[in-house]
Amino acid sequence: MTPEPPSVLVVDDVEANLVAIRGVLDGVGCNVVEARSGNEALRLLLRRKFVALLLDVQMPQMDGFEVAGLVRSHSATRDLPILFLTAKHDTEDDVLRGYGIGAVDFLFKPISPVILRSKVRVFLDLYEGRNNVEQALAELQVAQSQLVQSAKMAALGELVAGIAHEINNPLAFVTSHLATARQNLDLAAPVIESCSSAEVTVGWTKALDRLREMGTGLSRIANLVLQLRTFSRLDEGVRKQIEVRECIDSVLMILGHRLGERIQVTLELAGPDLIECYPGPLNSALLNLMTNAIDAITGPGTIVIRTSTKADWFRLSITDDGVGIPDELKDRIIEPFFTTKPVGKGTGLGLSITYSIAKRHGGQLEIDSERGRGTTITLTFPLDLGASVRRA
Ligand SMILES: Nc1ncnc2c1ncn2[C@@H]1O[C@H](COP(=O)(O)OP(=O)(O)O)[C@@H](O)[C@H]1O
Ligand SMILES: [Mg+2]
């Protein structure tokens, strides 16, 4: 689909002048829209966008200067370039007045076709340049926000890695001291067991019980630390083999407080145990998809995480039985900044980042959803990442 050419508005009360200008601008690459009075021009200007306004100075009722003044005073048309077309050769005052109102240029009748055409071309070039700049700016803003979001994820990763490291050191010596304490207590066991004091034997049994519980607590902490480290993956940029299960568990651990008793998570892992991927980004992708699934479930609900392979591609899907996505929004949800969540809750970046992560793996994001029934979002990428990079 080619976009419609930009339009130029020509305002003149004399029909013959309009016809002449239309002829001159034929083939310049713009639509020529005609107005026969200032009022008609203003109506058109408010209704659609123009690249430039060619304005006759002398018109009955409202003259060109008045029209220009109104155009300049309205926020939607303030920046519209105005080119005055005037029949008076000698009134310097008029020309100064016109520039004062904000005219970009004057052309004197009879108008030279070559000059008019080249001036209009300049306006068209300016317009196109401005459009390009605006588009580049919008793209930059999107890229910047994604970067900020990725930087946040990376900072979170670093923080988590730091905490895991700090916990790990005391954990290691407490674990080892616990083992020493146990060995030493075992040495004393025969003596204590033969002791006749009930108080001592009951206390002894209790101490052994407590030690066992401490061991259980410590292994829970150790497991937590391991999952925190898995989540943080400081090796973001490197392609690596990872255990899929570890990656899923670490994300579930991070989201544990949001899942609570309310949401049941089931795993159906039919895919390979080990996959090659960019571990940090893959964690972020899974975290984003899981967060969305949790947000979509209003009451109690279920999330199923599935892995499988299909034609040498790895598939990771998250299915929720939440609110679903209305058909008319399906095309939009990947757009950066598109969110249906309240301000402060949604950034609208989760899926666009997840999409770029899929792309980075040479893969895709599939969305399947039914309003009121639930949503499945599947991240797929080739099992042999090297091959996909070589192909790309
Ligand atoms: N699992 C899902 N169920 C229902 N709607 C979803 C789901 N995942 C995403 N969406 C819709 O897509 C929008 C964009 O998601 P996302 O890019 O992650 O941004 P955010 O979560 O910040 O809104 C969400 O606001 C929501 O409307
Ligand atoms: Mg989200």
Q: 86-128: per-residue pLDDT in tens?
A: 876 657 777 788 888 877 888 888 889 999 999 999 999 999 9
Task: Give the Cα separation of 214 and 182 in Å (integer).
Answer: 11
- Confidence at residue 82, expressed as pLDDT on a 0 to 100 scale: 93
Q: In the chain, how many H helices and how many E strands?
A: 10, 12
- Which residues 6+ apart lie within 8 Å of 73 measured at CB? none
Side-chain-side CA neighbours of residue 352 (13 Å): 19
Do residues 258 and 238 make contact, with C-beta atoms less than 8 angstroms apart? no
Q: pLDDT in tens for each of the 392 residues of the chain?
A: 466 789 999 999 999 999 999 999 999 999 999 999 999 999 999 999 999 999 998 888 888 999 999 999 988 899 899 999 887 665 777 778 888 887 788 888 888 999 999 999 999 999 999 889 998 998 898 888 878 877 777 777 788 888 888 998 999 999 999 999 999 998 988 888 888 888 988 999 999 999 999 999 998 888 778 777 777 765 556 889 999 999 999 899 889 889 999 999 999 999 999 999 998 889 889 999 999 999 999 999 999 999 999 999 999 999 999 999 999 999 899 887 789 998 878 878 888 888 888 988 999 999 999 999 999 999 999 998 866 555 44
346 CA: nearest ligand 1 atom: 22
Whether the bond into 110 is cis, omega within 30 of 0? yes
What is the C-alpha separation between 265 and 135, in angstroms, rounded?
42
Question: How far away, in angstroms, is 230 Cα from ligand 1 center?
Answer: 25
What is the 347 CA–ligand 1 centroid distance (Å)? 9
Q: Report how far residue 62's alpha carbon sits from residue 78's, in angstroms, rounded to the nearest whole number.
A: 19
22, 25, 214, 387 from 124: Cα distances, Å = 16, 12, 77, 46
Three-state DSSP state, 196: coil
- Probe residue for ligand 1, chosen from 339, 345, 365 as the CB with the greatest number of ligand atoms within 8 Å: 339
**Per-residue H/E/C for 54-103:** EEECCCCCCCHHHHHHHHHHCCCCCCCCEEEEECCCCCHHHHHHHHHHCC
For atom 8 of ligand 1, which residue has the closest CA? Answer: 292
- The reported pLDDT for the residue numbered 110 is 84
Name the residue with the closest Cα to ligand 1, atom 7: 292
Q: How far apart are CA 374 and CA 353, in angstroms?
A: 22
Atom of ligand 1 nearest to the CA of 323: 4
Q: For residue 343, give the DSSP letter.
A: B
Q: 349: CA distance to ligand 1 center in Å?
A: 9
Helix (H) or strand (E) holding 210: helix 198-232
Chain centre distance of CA 146:
6
What's the gap in Å between 230 CA and the centre of ligand 2? 21
- The tokens for 39 are 């009022």
Cβ atoms of 67 and 42 closer than 8 Å: yes
- Ligand closest in space to the Cα of 352: 1
- Reported as type and span, the H/E element at residue 257 is helix 244-259
Q: Are 246 and 267 in contact (CB under 8 A)?
A: no
Residue with tokens 């609110």: 323
Cα-to-centroid distance, 257 and ligand 2 (Å) = 17
Reported as a single tens digit per residue, the pLDDT across 3-17 is 678 999 999 999 999
Pairing of strands 240-243, 105-108: unpaired
Q: Are 381 and 388 in contact (CB under 8 A)?
A: yes
- Per-residue tokens: 56: 């006759």
pLDDT, position 388:
55
What per-residue string of b and e applies to 262-294 under the rule 16 or more CB within 10 Å gives b?
A: ebebeeeeebeeebbbbbbbbbbbbbbbbbbbb
Atom of ligand 1 nearest to the CA of 336: 17
C-alpha 124 to ligand 1 mean position (Å): 40
269 close to 306: Cβ distance less than 8 angstroms: yes
Which ligand has an atom closest to residue 377 CA? 1
What was the pLDDT predicted at 322?
Answer: 97
What predicted TM-score, i.e. pTM, was given to this entire model?
0.63
Distance CA(181)–CA(177), nearest Å, equals: 6
> Which atom of ligand 1 lies closest to the CA of 318?
1
* pLDDT at residue 392, rounded to an integer: 43
Tell me the CA–centroid distance for residue 346 and ligand 2, in Å: 6
User: Which residues, in sequence order, are CB contacts of 202 under 8 Å at separation 6+?
Assistant: none
What is the best residue among 286, 298, 333 to mutate for testing ligand 1's pocket, by most ligand atoms within 8 Å of CB?
Answer: 333
Q: Which residues line ligand 1 (CB under 6 A)?
A: 288, 292-293, 296, 320, 322-325, 333, 338-341, 346-352, 375
Cα–Cα distance measured from residue 125 to residue 309, given in angstroms and rounded to the nearest whole number: 52
